């Protein structure tokens, strides 16, 4: 067992950052070095995350400058960014500059959108703003961990939560030629996917007992999924995606439709998916459609299959804050440091929540 490494968490007061703090607290090789918040510097972590008060009773948020100094003074460390897209790249660049100037080691995983594309033009086309650290893009690789056996960069980026949910079903179908490369997806997400800052559509009286689509066929994760599926398979998919907001806090349930190939039925596809993910600790294939309560609070994802003569349906469920964000990011930390994927991430589902 190597010595425990300090983790700097960027975007400290958001939901994903809170999940990172929770997961780090139970990781045998990591401990919290600094939780960074520009708006809450000097204030207790427990004031933003009451459920973590017993774990971090004395921790306070620190400023960016403080985090930069700590990185320069620490021989080896980890940074996981849950900062908003557009802000994360600049923060990451500052920390890398400090580490490089001091000659210290630093492993970074970005859970924002800033390092999901290999070039700044692709990022700018989707997010309509300039990339703040284009010189750093070639030191990051973005993928679902299960879809990249070996990473050739020092840092990694975790795909978005919707993207991860879809890619888990789409990539093996493409890779093994199990369907025509055209996908139609309807996916429902919990309210935590909208972030911590309240908006009209996340206000409880509006969200509870409600279900509605938003940004149909125009969501920013659509080009991300196409790009990452192409990177994983060297094949060009077509994707039509309708995201929907559900009346629950956590989880994503995606229904993925694709045109069937002659003679390829549910039994063959289920066996192929099971084989594809046979080495994965966190992705499993079920005989019946999965339920959100089977995975909420964990880094697990569950797939299942239905098919007839003309169409294939893949159901894919995961926790948007864990496997779709914080848990996936910690999985990448494990991978980059040469540790088992499951290190610190085996959590039993709560079940009745």
Residues 203 and 284 in one domain: yes
- Cβ proximity of 306 and 313 under 8 Å: yes
Total of domains in the chain:
2
Q: Which residues contact 58 (CB under 8 A, 6 or more apart)?
A: none
Q: Considering the entire predicted model, what is its pTM? A: 0.96
Instruction: Determine, yes or no, domain membership for 43.
Output: yes
* pLDDT by residue, tens only, the chain of 353 residues: 467 999 999 998 899 999 999 999 999 999 999 999 988 999 999 999 999 999 999 999 999 999 999 999 999 999 999 999 999 999 999 999 999 999 999 999 999 999 999 999 999 999 999 999 999 999 999 999 999 999 999 999 999 999 999 999 999 999 999 999 999 999 999 988 877 777 777 778 888 899 999 999 999 999 999 999 999 999 999 999 999 999 999 999 999 999 999 999 999 999 999 999 999 999 999 999 999 999 999 999 999 999 999 999 999 999 999 999 999 999 999 999 999 999 999 988 888 87
142 is catalytic: no
Q: What is the CATH number of the domain that holds 252?
A: 3.30.360.10
Residues 183 and 87 in one domain: no
Strand spans (E) along the chain: 5-10, 30-35, 76-81, 105-110, 140-142, 155-157, 182-189, 212-213, 238-245, 252-259, 283-285, 301-307, 311-318
- Distance of alpha carbon 135 from alpha carbon 225, whole angstroms: 23
Is residue 353, in this structure, part of any structural domain at all? no
Domain residue limits at 289: 161-320
Confirm if 230 and 163 have CB atoms less than 8 A apart.
no
Query: Residue 187 forms beta bridges with which residues?
Result: 243, 254
Residue of 161, 232, 242, 272 marked catalytic: 161
Query: Are residues 179 and 69 part of one domain?
Result: no
């Amino acid at each position: 067992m190597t010595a425990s490494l300090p983790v700097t968490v960027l975007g400290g007061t958001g939901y994903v950052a809170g999940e990172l703090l929770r997961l780090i607290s139970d990781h045998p090789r990591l401990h919290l070095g600094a939780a960074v918040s520009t708006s809450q510097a000097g204030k207790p972590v427990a004031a933003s995350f009451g459920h973590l008060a017993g774990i971090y009773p004395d921790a306070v948020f620190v400023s960016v400058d403080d985090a930069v100094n700590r990185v320069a003074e620490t021989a080896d460390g980890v940074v996981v960014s849950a900062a908003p897209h557009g802000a994360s790249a600049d923060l990451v660049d500052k920390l890398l500059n400090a580490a490089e100037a001091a000659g210290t080691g630093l492993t970074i995983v970005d859970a924002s959108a800033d390092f999901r594309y290999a070039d700044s033009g692709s990022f700018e086309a989707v997010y309509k703003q300039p990339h703040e650290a284009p010189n750093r893009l070639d030191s990051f690789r973005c993928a679902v961990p299960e879809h990249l056996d070996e990473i050739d960069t020092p840092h990694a980026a975790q795909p978005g939560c919707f993207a991860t949910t879809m890619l888990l079903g789409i990539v093996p179908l493409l890779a093994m030629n199990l369907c025509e490369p055209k996908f139609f997806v309807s996916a429902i997400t919990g309210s935590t996917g909208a972030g911590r800052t309240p908006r009209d559509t996340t206000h409880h009286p509006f969200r509870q007992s409600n279900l509605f689509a938003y940004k149909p066929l125009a969501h920013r994760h659509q080009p991300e999924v196409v790009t990452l599926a192409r990177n994983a398979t060297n094949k060009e998919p077509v994707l039509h995606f309708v995201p929907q907001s559900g009346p629950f806090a956590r989880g994503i349930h995606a229904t993925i439709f694709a045109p069937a190939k002659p003679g390829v039925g549910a039994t063959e596809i289920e066996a192929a998916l099971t084989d594809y993910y046979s080495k994965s600790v966190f992705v499993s294939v079920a005989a019946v459609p999965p339920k959100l309560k089977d995975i909420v609070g964990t880094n697990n994802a569950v797939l299942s299959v239905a098919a007839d003569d003309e169409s294939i349906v893949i159901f894919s469920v995961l926790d948007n804050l864990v496997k779709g964000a914080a848990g996936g990011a910690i999985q990448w930390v494990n991978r980059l440091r040469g540790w088992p994927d499951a290190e610190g991430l085996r959590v039993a589902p709560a079940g009745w929540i």
